[in-house]
Structure formats: C-alpha cells, structure tokens
Structure 1
Amino acid sequence: MCRTGPSGLTRKQEVKLVMESLLCDEVWLSSPDQTAVAACFDEPQNWRRSGDKEECDEATIMCLDKELSYMPQPGYLDYLLSNNNLMHSRSKAIQWLVKSRSRLNLSFGTVFSAANYLDRFLSLNQCHGWRYWMIELLSVACVSVASKFIETSAPSLQEIQMDDLDYSFQSNTIKRMELTLLHALGWRLACVTTYSYVELLISNLDSIDSQLFDELTTRVTKLLLGSMLDIKLLKYRPSVVAVSALWCTLDDQLIPSSHSHIAYITRPFNQYQKDDVVKCHRIMKLRRVDHIDPLSKLRVLLCGRQPCYWPSSPATVLLRERIDIYDCQVDLSIFNNNIIPASGSNINLESCKKRKK
C-alpha cells in the first residue's frame, strides 16, 4: 500500500512533482512583479557600469520593501542562543555552504540564498529535537534548491554531497527534503539577502573608478560571507548588515568622508534603521578589532588552507567514514506542522527492517 503525504499524493508522486517544478521557473515567477524581483536577486548587475542611477535606486527601494518578508521568524536568535548544539550545527552548515560555493563553482547569490533558506526553515521549526544529520540534509537541500533557482547549470545531488559531510543521503531523501523546504517557505525563493545590496550600495558612491568599485565589491562580499557566521547579526535587516559591511570596508580602505557616503546611501532608511546601522557597524568593527572576526574562518574556507599560525597537519590523514542514511529511515512528516517532537530523532530503524523482510 502506498503511503500518502499531507498533499494526498504518494511519496513517489510528490518527488516527481517537486522535480518538475524545480525545472520550471514559470511556476515561481508567474507574475511580472516576481520576475522583476528575481532579476535583482540572482546575481547583482553592475549598476555603476549600466549608468542607470534611477533604476538602481528603484531596485534598492524594492529590496527594502520586501526584505522583512524573507527574514527568519521572530525569536530565532533567542532560540539559537538557548540551544548550543543547534547553534554549533548551524555554524558548521554555514561554513559548509561557503566552502561548497568554491568547490562547485557556484555564484555568491546561490550561497547567500541557500543560507537564507536554511535560517528561515530552522526558524519555522523551533524546538529542541534537531539532530546534526537533519541539519546536513537540510543544508544539501538548500544548496540544491538555490542552485536550481539561480544557476544556469545546477550541480547534481552526488556532486553537492561530494565533500565535508558526516552523512550521506539517498537522492529520494534529498528530493523529499527539497519539497518539504519549498512547502515551508511557501515557494518564496527570490529572497532579499545582504548580497542583494552589494553593488546597489556601492553604485551610490561617487568619485570611485572601476578598479576601486570592483575591489570594494569583493571586500564587502567577503565580509558579508563571514558575517553569516555571527548569529548576533541575524536580528538586523539585510540592508542594515550590508551597509555596515560597506562602512567597515570604507574605513579599511581609508576612503575620505566615509560617514557622508553612508549618510547618503541610507537616505531611504527610517531613523530606526539608521540607528541599527550604527549598532551593527559597531559590532562588526569590534569583532575585527578583538580578532574574532568571522573572516578568519572564512579565509580558510576560501583559500583551502589553514592560517599560518596553525600547526601543520601530519602527512597522512585518516578520512572519517561517512554514515549512510537510507530513505526508509527518514520521516519528514514531523515538519508538516512546523513542530519537531522533543524526543525527535526521526530515524526509524525498526520500520526500515520490517519493510526489508
């Protein structure tokens, strides 16, 4: 007898449905408004070179209007702070996302979107039943969905799982997790992230040449990648974090009148948002001064090597064997009502054995 999910479809039918939907952008971008939004959020255009300042300002306002609807649920930061295991697992997941971008040659937009999906889904399932294998499964699904939404050619599920995971999942399991993720997010994938603002903000700076424009873009992007590891920044809007990162970068570059540049850039902000920019900038600046800048971890991920002050590794390294998680072991129905039972492991080995008999 075939088991049916909350949609009334069998598991096989749900998997087929999500695969067909993931290959059809028209399902997501059915309205002109959504098409315009998605065009802004995949990979930012070089607005400075396009020369259309008015279009850049319109895109910025569009992002500001929509960013709150793509943020994690209220109380998410407190939830992470009260759950050390989940906080650590999220940190590992974000590091894996960043490293996967380089390994799979993905766009920056893809990794920022994947991280956004991860945080939004975690915030919708606030309980203490998470296990690390569940975080890894969710991370793989986030990369897969973001890649299919943004990349011209998305990597296969096997390629996504190639390195740096403790667990290995079957394709059907990942596809079911993708469908669960899409249902939870309401199929709203054209998210506004901190990366959505990078070139929009830098394009507002006057008197900078193309070389400095590119350098600022690179530095701000790297700082924003590192900022994803700092959970205290989750309480701020993406625009606030993006402006704060640009402010830190301008300070580092010794750009004259950086304060006046920031004041000009934040003219669409209300006073509450401007106050948040000052607070967020202070946090970012202190992190770097106190040598706990998340970028120290990020450099390892981007360069693929350890900092020079780490002891060198032995010539022979024992690779940790990965644990296989079979599809029949994973029950994703726990996410249907956005509640995970406190007991929660969700691996039902007895059920799996019975089916094999």
Structure 2
Amino acid sequence: MEFHFDLENPLPTSTDNFPLLFHTETDHMPSKAYLQTLSNLSTRHQILSLILHFSHNFDPFSSYLAINYMDRFLSTQSIPDGKPWIFKLVAISCISLALKMMRKTEFSVSDFQDCGVILDSLSLERMEMLILGALKWRMRSINPFSFIKFFISFFEFKDQISTQALKDKATELIFKAHNDIKLLQFKPSIIAASALLCAADELFPVQLPFFRNSISTCEYVNKENLFYCYNAMQEVAAIDGYESVLNAASSSCTPTNVLDVQCFNSSTSENGEIRDLKRRKLGDLAN
C-alpha cells in the first residue's frame, strides 16, 4: 500500500472542505454500541498498552491513528479470551497499518520480536486484512486534529504566537485524552473544540467567555455534547499521569504497566476539590 496521510488533512483530494469532514466524521468512529458492549474493558486496556509500548519509537501521530483503528476494529469484532498473542497481533497490525498510511518510517516484523512476541509476515498480513475489512477500508480517519484549524479560527488571534501556543496545548490535550474510553462517545469535532477551550482556559482565561460563546454558536456544534465533552477533557487535563504515558511505554516489557499509573491517577483525582472546580467551570460553559 502506498499512501501519504496527514491527520490534520485527511481528505485525499481537497483541503479545508470542512462541511464534508463534519458530514462524514461519524463514519470514522467506533460503533454506537461500543461503550455498552465492551464488556471486557481489560481487552481494550491490554491492546492499547501494547500499542503504546510497541510504538514508543515512532511518531506519536502514528500511535494515535493506530489506536483509532483499534477502537473501530474492536467495536465490530470480538476477540477470544485467554489468547494474549492475539492481542499482540492486533496491536502490531494496527501500528503497521498506521505507519503505512502515514509513510513515516520503514519497519519489519523483526522490529516487534521482543517480550515474547513471535510473528511471521503472513500472520501480520492476514490480521491487517481483517482489520481493513472491519474498517470498510476507511483508513483516512477523520479525527480531532482534522478540526483544529477550523475551530481555532473562532479565536480571532491577531498574532501567530498565540495561535500556535493554543494549537500546541490543544494537541497535547488530545494526545492525553486518546486513551480515555469516556471520550469515545464524542465526535472528533467536539473533542477538538473541547480541547481548544480547555487550552484557552489555561493560556487565556480572561478571554475564555468570548471563545466559549463563539464556538457554541457554530452550526456544527451540539452545545450539550460540548458541555459534557469539555467536562471530560478538563478531568483529563487535571490528571498528571497522562503526561508520561508514552514515556512509560518504553520503560518495561510489561506493557500493562503503561496504563496502570494512569488508572491510579484517574481514580485518586476524583476528590471533592477537583469536582467542585469542574462544576464551576461547567457552570460557566452552560451559561
């Protein structure tokens, strides 16, 4: 396969065709029943940990795309319990497809022959074809990064420095949130808008009410969904453990450790002080 794919511009033949992006973004999400039918959360947990572990030397955008493929695949396919080698095969196949799409680097099966993983090219190819079929060959995933340019125009900055600072912070938040299952229920565009608002809350708090009102009036934005997604994104932003997930992935040959720290931080962060802070900020957003 020969591709050249950019997460910020997923359309192959045109740029800035945002109406088309908004119209088709749900085609690149997990199925609506995913959160309800994902009875064994440990399956997603283990495969996600493996993706982060095996892709720590690659571009983080490639890891992000691989996780998108994983969630969309798991939302239509069940994986038998008690066969951890299948988890590894799915993780590596998602990474392989993401790298091929983005043409970021060359790799071989031997790159993944560590920590007990023994694969052959035929097994990898078969799993890739299974994933491609489940995704209906929609590999140019429309994702939150695809909408950053659209929503950042609502902020009407006069200088490039402020614009870039806001984009960089929002990008960091999107990366932090990409392994949180709560965010999977929201459209990519809503995640992008929420990330930008959370970034603005930190960098330009005085101007936040203007930014919030501007985005809320956008014809493509469901204000209620923005409300709840902003809440979830603020919780992600408050958890320190998210910041080191990718670094943790390279520190051990037991990839489940990658998310264990995150899960611990997630549970301990839900104290009264943080909840009160979120309520105040969400109250502002709803006004």
TM-score w.r.t. structure 2 length? 0.75
Q: Which aligned pairs between 1:162-181 and structure 2 lie closer than 5 A?
A: 166-181=116-131
Provide the aligned C-alpha RMSD in A: 3.0
Q: What is the CA distance between 1:266 and its match in structure 2?
A: 4.5
Give the equivalent residue in structure 1 for 2:73.
121
Q: Which aligned pairs between 1:152-163 and structure 2 lie closer than 5 A?
A: 153-159=105-111, 161=112
1:297 aligned residue (242, 248, 273): 242
Q: What is the CA distance between 1:154 and its match in structure 2?
A: 3.8
The structure whose residues are more often helix, as a share, is 2
- In structure 2, C-alpha distance between the alignment counterparts of 1:156 and 1:208, rounded to whole Å: 46
2:53 aligned residue (80, 91, 96): 96
Q: Are positions 1:265 and 2:215 aligned together?
A: yes
Specify the code of the residue in structure 1 equivalent to 2:244. Answer: R
Q: Matched residue of 2:206: which SS?
A: coil
Contact 2:7/2:141, CA 8 A, preserved across alignment: no
**Greater C-alpha Rg:** 1
Per-residue CA deviations over 1:223-270 (Å, capped at 9, x if unaligned) read 111111210111111111111111111101134322322332344445
- In structure 2, C-alpha distance between the alignment counterparts of 1:157 and 1:127, rounded to whole Å: 22
- In structure 2, C-alpha distance between the alignment counterparts of 1:198 and 1:143, rounded to whole Å: 24
Q: Which runs of 5+ in 2 are unaligned?
A: 255-287
- In structure 2, C-alpha distance between the alignment counterparts of 1:243 and 1:166, rounded to whole Å: 41
Aligned length: 250
- In structure 2, C-alpha distance between the alignment counterparts of 1:305 and 1:96, rounded to whole Å: 6
Give the equivalent residue in structure 2 for 1:284.
233
Q: What is the CA distance between 1:187 and its match in structure 2?
A: 1.2
- In structure 2, C-alpha distance between the alignment counterparts of 1:281 and 1:199, rounded to whole Å: 18
Describe the shift of the 1:65–1:91 C-alpha distance in structure 2 as closer, same or farther (beyond 3 A). same
Give the equivalent residue in structure 2 for 1:252.
202
- In structure 2, C-alpha distance between the alignment counterparts of 1:251 and 1:240, rounded to whole Å: 16
Q: State the percentage of identical aligned residues.
A: 26
Divergent runs of 4+, >6 A: 303-306
Contact 1:144/1:154, CA 8 A, preserved across alignment: no
Specify the code of the residue in structure 1 equivalent to 2:21. Answer: C
Give the equivalent residue in structure 1 for 2:18.
60
Q: What is the CA distance between 1:277 and its match in structure 2?
A: 0.6
Contact 2:46/2:87, CA 8 A, preserved across alignment: yes
Describe the shift of the 1:131–1:241 C-alpha distance in structure 2 as closer, same or farther (beyond 3 A). farther
Per-residue CA deviations over 1:162-210 (Å, capped at 9, x if unaligned) read 66x5523122211111111112212111111112222332243212522
TM-score w.r.t. structure 1 length? 0.61
Describe the shift of the 1:60–1:186 C-alpha distance in structure 2 as closer, same or farther (beyond 3 A). same
Q: Which runs of 5+ in 1 are unaligned?
A: 1-21, 26-37, 46-54, 307-316, 321-357
Describe the shift of the 1:286–1:270 C-alpha distance in structure 2 as closer, same or farther (beyond 3 A). same
Q: What is the CA distance between 1:103 and its match in structure 2?
A: 0.9
Specify the code of the residue in structure 1 equivalent to 2:172. Answer: K
- In structure 1, C-alpha distance between the alignment counterparts of 2:8 and 2:79, rounded to whole Å: 36
Q: What is the CA distance between 1:130 and its match in structure 2?
A: 7.0
